[in-house]
Amino acid sequence: MRKILISLGSLVLTFLLVCPNPIHSEELKEIKLLKPQMDGGRLLMQVLKDRHSSREFSTDELPLQVLSNLLWAAFGINRPDSGKRTAPSAVNWQNIDIYVAMTKGLYLYDAKSNILKPVLAEDIRAATGTQSFVKNVPVNLIYVADFSKIPRGTEEDKNFYSAAHTGFISQNVYLYCASEGLATVVRGLIDREAMSKVMKLRPDQKVMFAQSVGYPKK
């Protein structure tokens, strides 16, 4: 009996060590995103003219098609043959993950499968920033750098590249929002330590920035 208990214990321990981001919520279901629509959007020069940050949001949810388009624009796969993305990354490291905090819970964008993987069945929107509006915005994107995907360099190098990678993704989101009449703001005012705890991140994952997205307040 003791032997069985010991092997069961080591089995659980192995699972916890091997599985880097265990799902803490069995009841939160995966969301199948829709095929991104590539035939929409306004003229690029008009979109650039309209790009801006805003901090006043409606609480209306984004339709699934809009959320799907938004995430694809942010960092989707635009060349399926190579798996390359809508934003560039040094050495094609692709080390930024987009977590999506919504009322239902926290999800991870899986660009390859075009799904949102469940991470936490909790509304963590309030923890995604120190500004009061963030708790009511329907979608808060959290850009998390995975340092394990950058095989060389100092901590400073990894931060430097990750910040640049996040900037490209964030600007894609800005442009999509300007094109679609959505409100958005990228945010550095976040308690990174608290957020990492809430999100149960690994030590080699680092919260870079967050970005709120919703319809403008009426």
Compute the least distance from the CB of residue 86 to ligand FMN, in Å.
19
Query: Measured from the CB atom, is 56 or 204 closer to ligand FMN?
Result: 56
Burial class (CB in 10 A: 0-12, 13-18, 19+), 46: exposed
Compute the least distance from the CB of residue 164 to ligand FMN, in Å.
11
Q: What are the C-alpha distances in Å from 160 to residues 44, 57, 102, 126, 193?
A: 28, 31, 29, 27, 19
Q: What are the C-alpha distances in Å from 214 to residues 59, 133, 159, 173?
A: 7, 11, 28, 11
Residues with Cβ within 8 Å of 68's Cβ and at least 6 positions away in sequence, in order, are 33, 34, 35, 36, 114
Compute the least distance from the CB of residue 180 to ligand FMN, in Å.
16
- Partners of residue 57 on adjacent β-strands: 216
Binding positions for ligand FMN, rule: CB under 6 A: 52-53, 55, 131, 185-189
Query: Measured from the CB atom, is 143 or 147 closer to ligand FMN?
Result: 143
Compute the least distance from the CB of residue 21 to ligand FMN, in Å.
25
Query: Measured from the CB atom, is 22 or 188 closer to ligand FMN?
Result: 188
Query: Measured from the CB atom, is 33 or 96 closer to ligand FMN?
Result: 96
Compute the least distance from the CB of residue 199 to ligand FMN, in Å.
18
Element (H, E) at 145: strand 139-146
Query: Measured from the CB atom, is 104 or 167 closer to ligand FMN?
Result: 167
